[in-house]
Amino acid sequence: MRVLRLATLLTLSTALPLMAQEVNIYSYRQPELIAPLTDAFTAETGIKVNVAYLEKGMVERLVAEGDRSPADLVLTVDIARLAEVVAAGVTQPVTSATLTGNVPAAYHDPEGHWWGLTTRARIVYASKDRVKDGDVTTYEDLADPKWKGRICTRPFTNAYNVGLTAAVLHHHGAEATKTWLEGVKANLAKKPEGNDRSQVKSIWAGECDISLGNTYYMAQMLKDPEQTAWADSVRIVFPTFADGGTHVNISGIAMTKAAPNKDAALKMMEFLTSPKAQAIYAEANAEYPIAPGSEPDPLVKGWGSFTADTVNLMDLAKLRPSALKLIEEVNFDG
């Protein structure tokens, strides 16, 4: 069901109000993750924030609204979605010394169309009982025959795994990436299915020994009494590329082309990238803040440190179609 939530629930056909000193946001993120940030911004600036929570159709909505769109900002997750709104021509470039100071170059569009807020790492969940420390060190290692029958994963056509494959493509080229995909597929314990958490459940059940997943799912599992045992059965391992760091993705924000409240929207972008807001956001969603000097939540920090890959995520976004084609060529999910 498509849901928009402002002060109350509204239908998709209802427009957001346009008033002075307000900011209107379209977001794919859950309300509980956004509310602490919008509340803090309003308390600090006096600017009211209206958030329309959508499950899908954001780009189509912005295109249909055109110059009449009431939305000032788009807040979403995954570089693929950020690249999608930019490609649709519904955003505008933003330049700001504050944004540049708060957001490392790898985590914003070189032309300023989107700016990162937090990162999540694509890591390995490894069985505490059946996988020794140091057994997994690189993404390339996942294709090693020593893992035959021991890997579980959600479908590789999922956005998270397409992103990882795009990173492999960036580091090693098409031929090596195809060979890597074939090697990982040969090591699967079962056909790809489910989500990242269900792979950890499979490790707990003894169906496989390692799986790919995003870091924040550990926090989600620990909060769910039915899934705590799954989380306790694994540890987080931060693989790297042989010639790089750990693959990450982001949550990010972009200013719409129509933005009726441009000045207030810029203030909010700058606030969201500040260390203060980063701390709020990182605690709410168990992700990694990116502003210099900011620290992750203690739970997240306890998982260990890692060095993120430095490739600009927009470069990876451009490789996603080629990555998906390779995934389909090897029939990874078949």
Q: What phi, psi does 295 have (nearest 5°)?
A: -120, 145
**Domain assignments of the chain as residue spans, ordered by start:** 4-119+249-295, 120-247+312-329
Q: What pLDDT tens digit does each residue of the chain (334 aa) get?
A: 333 333 332 333 334 444 458 999 999 887 777 899 999 999 999 999 999 999 889 999 999 999 999 999 999 988 999 999 999 999 999 999 999 999 999 899 999 999 999 999 999 999 999 999 999 999 999 999 999 999 999 999 999 999 999 999 999 999 999 999 999 999 999 999 999 999 999 999 999 999 999 999 999 999 999 999 999 999 999 999 999 999 999 999 999 999 999 999 999 999 999 999 988 888 888 999 999 888 899 999 999 999 999 998 989 999 999 999 999 999 999 9
| Integer Cα distance of 114 and 226 in angstroms | 37
Residues 6+ apart with CB under 8 A from 35: none
* Domain 120-247+312-329: which CATH number of 3.40.190.10, 3.40.50.300, 3.30.450.20, 3.10.180.10: 3.40.190.10
The CATH superfamily label for domain 4-119+249-295 reads: Periplasmic binding protein-like II (3.40.190.10)
pLDDT for residue 165: 98
pTM given for the model = 0.87
Q: How far, CA to CA in Å, does 139 sit from each of 115, 122, 136, 196, 225?
A: 27, 10, 8, 17, 31
Q: Pairing mode, if any, of strands 151-152 and 210-214?
A: parallel
Same fold, 4-119+249-295 and 120-247+312-329: yes
Residue 312: count other Cβ atoms within 10 Å of its Cβ.
Answer: 18
Burial of 46 (0-12, 13-18, 19+ CB in 10 A): exposed
Q: What phi, psi does 209 have (nearest 5°)?
A: -115, -30
pLDDT for residue 17: 46
